[in-house]
Chain A
Amino acid sequence: MGKKSEERLKASLKRLEEISTSNPSVKERSAWECVLLSRQPNRPGALDYIDYLCDDFMELHGDRNFRDDLAMVGGIGTIDGRAVTFIGNRKGRNLRENVAYNYGMSNPEGYRKALRLAKQAEKFSRPIICFIDTPGAYPGVGSEERGIGEAIARNLKEFSTLLTPILIFVIGEGGSGGALGIGIGDKLYMLENAVYSVITPEGFASILLRDSSKTQEAAEAMKMTAHDLKRFNIINDIIAEDPQGAHHNPLFSAKIVKDIIRRDLATLCNKSVTSLVRYRMRKIRQISSF
């Protein structure tokens, strides 16, 4: 792949970014309002989007090593006849589901399942679509014993060089390394009321503000909203929600998500995967704060 075609790819990706900034957007909410909305139990989750995007989704289970982590969902479906691999965090709607899905917090086997499915997608030339919605990776004994740090680290490394297009949507909570573990891709989008940061506002408040009750203050200080991340040029675009939140009218955002997927895949799937990966790596390389 020569320098010229890389330039062309860069230009066309840039054009895409310009088109998509035309999403309608309601007034900017406070960060804390976003935190609360992102945690709304009825907020559409990964499987809701998957069900809307395709009617033939087949869930695939297990990491082939330890067990099936229900906090991470993955599988295959088709969109407009194109096979895609879906990976996403899974939260519960009620106490019983939350216990089963560990409140959306994956153990190492969840990240290893995600990697297995991603490698499978690469092997069979399927693009990957990830839906992030987790407070973070699970901070428990078994999680540490089975190497949660290693599992996330490996995903960061492997996803950065995976030879297939990857689209990332932060649909609810984007919590730290647990989110990033399925968050490396070519395009990164956030729903308007989703949040994404290095730690929860609760953690930030108790560690940096030394007062665990200062969660609202922490949320504002952390700059964790979709608008913040767009300003920082970390995300490609913001996906609008119903004025009362995505849970109020799930189709509103789901339609935009579908349009974006169609548009991006039409472009990215026609690019050479090696130049796609080179561009992805360069983009990661350029994230800086000095």
Chain B
Amino acid sequence: MPPFLDCPVCHSKMEPTPLKVCPECNYHHRLEANERIALLVDEGSFKEFKPELSSQNPIDLEGYGEKLRLSQEKAQLKEAVVTGECTIEGLKAILAVMSFDFMGGSMGGVVGEMITRAMLEGVNQRTPVIICTASGGARMQEGIFSLMQMAKTACAAAQLEQAKVPLFIVLTHPTTGGVTASFAMLGDVILAEPGALIGFAGPRVIEGTIGEKLPEGFQRSEFQLERGFVDAVVPRDALRQTLTFLIKTHRRENGKKE
């Protein structure tokens, strides 16, 4: 029997369902990568890419290797993103899902490479790319190499654009830093789950700069919708249906009558 989920907002307890959305206050609990994949794709259709890549310690930072090993054990993942191909309502898609449980979803060389490869696979197969983000930003433990992953993923987004292959972004809680400032803001359509924190600088950094508390709701999905930086805030139970609609409406044969 899986444990009850405690809602951090309204403090009510819920039995875990695949959606993990609080029935009282609509709080969206964090999903693990495999849970999100199960929620979005046609059953049994997900073929993971599983590239033979493992994070090195490019700036020889003390303790990073150990930290990686522990994170792999804890999250039961090799890295902070899972990529693969799948079908959604029978429609082909390339899917990348980031995992906040793995070192805060931070983007180092491997995460950047896997996301880049997923996008380029979209270019090769002329297949829409969906990326579900959850990240604190660039992985500082990899120094300048993590910063350069922003350039790399943004460049891959440019290649998708040149090939006219759609990129759909699903922003989930939280998405900040170098991920926000690269591929996460480069989708043709950008969706966000309700209540997700989405921004470049983290709230504590901003509070440190301005010396006061930020208003409630600052940098949340609804705030970003109002400011014009996301196309729609989509509740989790409507995500699959929304993505299906988007894949259908972004096909090349659009505009030609059936």
Contacts and interface: CB of A to CB of B under 8 A. Distances in A.
A288 to B, nearest CB: 5
A288 B156 CA distance: 14
Nearest to A139: B201
Given A157-B158, A177-B200, A289-B142, A152 B181 contact: yes
Contacts of B177: 177
B206 A141 contact: yes
B144 A284 contact: no
B83 interface: no
A150 B229 contact: yes
B75 interface: no
A177 B58 contact: no
Interface string A121-149: 00000000000000001111101111111
Contacts of B146: 198, 289
Contacts of B156: 285
B183 interface: yes
Interface residues of A, number: 50
Question: Among the interface residues B53, B140, B159, B210, which one has the most CB atoms of the partner chain A within 10 A?
Answer: B140
A158 to B, nearest CB: 8
A222 B138 CA distance: 14
A180 interface: yes
Given A160-B155, A180-B150, A198 B143 contact: yes
A229 B147 CA distance: 12
A285 B138 contact: no
A275 interface: no
B122 interface: no
Given A143-B200, A208-B141, 17 more contacts: A139-B201, A139-B209, A140-B201, A141-B210, A144-B201, A147-B185, A147-B227, A150-B180, A152-B181, A161-B162, A177-B178, A184-B151, A224-B143, A224-B144, A232-B145, A234-B148, A288-B109
14 contacts: A139-B209, A140-B210, A144-B218, A147-B228, A148-B181, A149-B200, A150-B181, A153-B180, A156-B151, A176-B178, A223-B143, A234-B144, A288-B145, A290-B113
Interface of B: 53-56, 58-62, 108-110, 112-113, 116, 138, 140-152, 154-159, 161-162, 177-178, 180-186, 199-201, 205-206, 209-210, 214, 218-219, 227-229
